[in-house]
Amino acid sequence: MGKEQQVEHVRRGHVVVIPYPSQGHINPLLQFAKRLASKGLKATVATTHYTVKSIYAPNVGVEAISDGYDEGGFAYSPDTDTYLKAFKTFGSKTLSQLIRKFETTSSPITCVIYDAFFPWALDVAKQHGVYGAPFFTNSATVSSIFYRVHKGLLTLPIKMEDTPLSIPGLHKLDYPDLPGFLKSPDFYPAYLAMKLSQFDNLHQADWIFGNTFDDLELQLPVAERVGELWRGTLIGPMIPSAYLDGQIEGDIGYGASLWKPLDHKCKKWLELKPAGSVVYASFGSLVALTPKQMEEIAWGLKESGRHFLWVVKESERGKLPQGFIEETEEKGLVVTWCQQLELLAHKAIGCFVTHCGWNSTLEALCLGVPMVGVPKFADQYTNAKFIEEVWGVGVRAEEEDDKGTVGREELQLCLREVMDGERSQEMRKNAGKWRELAKKAVCQGGSSDNNINEFVADVCTGGKKRAKEEKHMNGF
Ligand code: UDP
């Protein structure tokens, strides 16, 4: 390769994107990598040895880094704290090696985009003199609340009498809407410590990315841009292009699956169902329901008399009531994993019973599917509030005990309300409206699309200066 061509490659920019190796993190970060590649950057995803084989995305390179548990990842570690520490040690070393490996090629890495769970990746980027930018996989509302805790502006635990939590520009949050860790910091201390450590070196970051868009979270007219509340460059929603803007040819799926999806079976089953008649239920990749909750969901779905398609991961299957699958064969299909987006896009789906993970929430919103929220953990409570009260695209199921169980009658009540209740039409109309706003954000000339274009131009031309000048906002 001649000198001029080499200079051209450097000018083009090469980003390495590092997701936390769970499905809900790989999906949006990989999608961002694809989006950047479609805009002319070279993009490489660096993920753990254990997950590297699960990723396939044309135009995006895939490289392995180590979390210290190359055979099996998190499942092989004794606990979260040990896992995150090992990831920092081994991840720093192997990321550094990866950057060095590319240094001598025609495409040296110019920017490290890392899951905000990995603040150490910014230190590695700086040691190598390249840009570093965290990617936050939850809402800007949740990020800005955690930031306030980090700054000592909110003291934990947040108690009932401290609510509603009212931050100018953000929607007010009542006690049940708060991220779980803020109410019970002792529930999962290692995870909370990691969430707060995201902010430790954020002042050194060259960009901060958020998987959301302005219209979605603001309380107008108090703030005009989420940037007034949270110094994030908003680039979301990161959903495969075919479902929103169609700018990336053939981009019909994320390109990563940690489990084998039973697509053919689901599609064949859905084809025979009337439009809008099926309840799709899934609790994401991480939630483990209590046996009681599993039973209540099972009987709630059955007794609703509706068609249902329920994702029950292999690890959860033992909690299903005995004989449930056989007994409900006529009305229901239980699968261990599916391509969720394909299902949500299917005309037979009328409603999504969801744990309200941020990706699932965005996906349903982008596809105009109304939801029944059954949040269980972390930011899911806050997302459920948005679903019901801010966007008006669903309801949040009420819990019947202090373990957070949603009973079978309550589930049926919620399904009636969303599928054919008085407000059902209104919810569908709202869902359609949010779908259009999401499309607008990522289509050419939309806010997220513009932000991505600006980043691509900056990373190629050294526009870091501009980003630095903005850093006074919110004290970052
Ligand atoms: N998902 C999937 N198939 C399933 C269930 C989930 O592809 O059967 C995907 C879903 O589309 C989403 C991700 O897994 O992108 C889950 O992310 P989310 O933030 O909703 O929840 P988490 O798993 O992180 O709790």
pLDDT, position 473: 39
| b/e burial code for range 195-228 (CB count within 10 A of at least 16 → b) | bbbbbeebeebbbbbbbbbbbbbbbeeebeebbe
The pTM score is: 0.95
Which among 394, 409, 159, 369 has a CA at the least distance from the CA of 275? 369
24 lines ligand 1 (CB under 6 A): yes
Q: Work out whether strand 14-18 and strand 42-48 pair parallel, antiparallel, or are unpaired.
A: parallel
For residue 284, the CA-to-ligand 1 centroid distance in Å is 4
The runs of H, that is alpha helices, within 151-205 are 180-183, 189-197
The torsion of the CA quartet 143, 437, 353, 195, rounded to 10 degrees, works out to -10
Which among 449, 455, 457, 458 has a CA at the least distance from the CA of 238? 449
139 lines ligand 1 (CB under 6 A): no
pLDDT, position 168: 84
C-alpha–C-alpha distance, residues 447 and 455, integer Å: 12
339 lines ligand 1 (CB under 6 A): yes
94 lines ligand 1 (CB under 6 A): no
For residue 45, the CA-to-ligand 1 centroid distance in Å is 19
Per-residue pLDDT of the chain (476 residues; tens, 9 = 90+): 444 444 444 458 999 999 999 999 999 999 999 999 999 999 999 999 999 999 999 899 999 999 999 999 999 999 999 999 999 999 999 999 999 999 999 999 999 999 999 999 999 999 999 999 999 999 999 999 999 999 999 999 999 999 999 988 889 999 999 999 999 999 889 889 999 999 999 999 999 999 999 889 887 666 667 776 677 899 999 999 999 999 999 999 999 999 988 888 999 999 999 999 999 999 999 999 999 999 999 999 999 999 999 999 999 999 999 999 999 999 999 999 999 999 999 999 999 999 999 999 999 999 999 999 999 999 999 999 999 999 999 999 999 999 999 999 999 999 999 999 999 999 999 999 999 999 999 999 999 999 999 999 999 887 654 444 444 334 33
For residue 209, the CA-to-ligand 1 centroid distance in Å is 20
38 lines ligand 1 (CB under 6 A): no
pLDDT, position 464: 58
pLDDT, position 463: 65
Contact 386, 361 (CB under 8 A): yes
Cβ neighbours of residue 97 closer than 8 Å, sequence gap 6 or more:
none
For residue 463, the CA-to-ligand 1 centroid distance in Å is 35
Q: What angle do CA 83, 88, 93 make, to 5 degrees?
A: 130
The token pair that represents 472 in the structure block: 């006074």
Which among 96, 97, 86 has a CA at the least distance from the CA of 21? 86
| Site to substitute for ligand 1 among 23, 191, 289, 315, most atoms within 8 A of C-beta | 23
Strands (E), 120-186: 131-136
Cβ burial, residue 465 (10 Å; 0-12/13-18/19+) = exposed
Q: How many residues does the chain have?
A: 476
Q: Which residue has the tokens 């090469």?
A: 14
Cβ burial, residue 476 (10 Å; 0-12/13-18/19+) = middle
What atom in ligand 1 is closest to the CA of residue 284?
23
Contact 13, 36 (CB under 8 A): no
pLDDT, position 231: 78
For residue 285, the CA-to-ligand 1 centroid distance in Å is 5
Catalytic residue numbers, as ranges: 25, 115
Q: Whose CA is nearest to atom 2 of ligand 1?
A: 340
- The dihedral through the CA atoms of 384, 442, 254, 138 has a sign that is negative
360 lines ligand 1 (CB under 6 A): yes
For the chain, domains (ranges, CATH) are: 3-247+443-467 (3.40.50.2000), 263-436 (3.40.50.2000)
The runs of H, that is alpha helices, within 247-287 are 263-271
